[in-house]
Chain A
């Protein structure tokens, strides 16, 4: 990644707002990226970082979380890397619509779907030694998204 920024944070929720501020500021360096797309990226990265903090909390780990930001030509790439115990992204059961009976009993299930909607590309690499979420937002959005 050229024009790259790497941020390492303690695995604590108090650092989420810092991550969002850095990502939004860095993304705004490309003046062709609209405010709404910056908001989309800010939320997607915050979700990925939240999941990383949760992964470390589940292990009782004090390891730091790494966020890499890159502005490369027509795309912004962000990687959020944790050292949690990993998970199988294919085995995630999406929560049903909120109007479904009993769905209001469950407060979770928004994070990964939001990332998938907000980012133009998302890839989740997960193994026993940790997870890396790759998010891409196009500076000039493609005419049509596949999904």
Chain B
């Protein structure tokens, strides 16, 4: 199972579009892209998960690492497009307490 990653930009934000399943096999790709974006100075990141129907503990850890990396570089890390299943997993693990969810069709000024 491959993970497909692409990105777009809105204002200061980099939107990372993820398609596929995030697990121990595919997660390193996502981590690498987050690291790459932050190292290029793009520390305001929204991970678009609307085409992701599965994230395991490895993926959750990578998102935690994303929050840490973005904040350490003066930015913010958000997610968008959560399915009900992902919302449940985020709530069960407490990830929703540090990784805020935004609506991509709303004004980016509301994402901070």
Most buried by B among A17, A36, A54: A17
Whether, in the assembled complex, B89 has its beta carbon less than 8 Å from a beta carbon of chain A, the answer is yes
Q: Are A110 and B93 in contact (CB under 8 A)?
A: yes
Interface residues on A, range: 20 to 34
Q: Are B68 and A46 in contact (CB under 8 A)?
A: no
Whether, in the assembled complex, A129 has its beta carbon less than 8 Å from a beta carbon of chain B, the answer is no
Whether, in the assembled complex, A71 has its beta carbon less than 8 Å from a beta carbon of chain B, the answer is no
Contact of B68 among A39, A97, A105 (CB under 8 A): A105
Whether, in the assembled complex, B39 has its beta carbon less than 8 Å from a beta carbon of chain A, the answer is no
Chain B residue with the shortest CB-CB distance to A105? B68
Distance in angstroms from A7 CB to nearest chain B CB is 16
Which of A60-68, A111-119, A136-144 contacts the other chain?
A111-119
Distance in angstroms from A28 CB to nearest chain B CB is 15
Question: A47-84: contact bitstring with B at CB < 8 Å (1 yes, 0 no)?
Answer: 10010011000000000000000000000000000000
Q: Are B98 and A17 in contact (CB under 8 A)?
A: no
8 Å CB interface, B33-67 against A? 54, 56-58, 60-62, 64-65, 67
Q: Are B61 and A107 in contact (CB under 8 A)?
A: yes
| Alpha-carbon gap, A82 to B70, bound state (A) | 37
Q: Are B23 and A110 in contact (CB under 8 A)?
A: no
Contacting residues, chain A, for B65 (C-beta < 8 A): 104, 107
| Alpha-carbon gap, A43 to B24, bound state (A) | 12
Contact of B61 among A14, A42, A110, A117 (CB under 8 A): A110
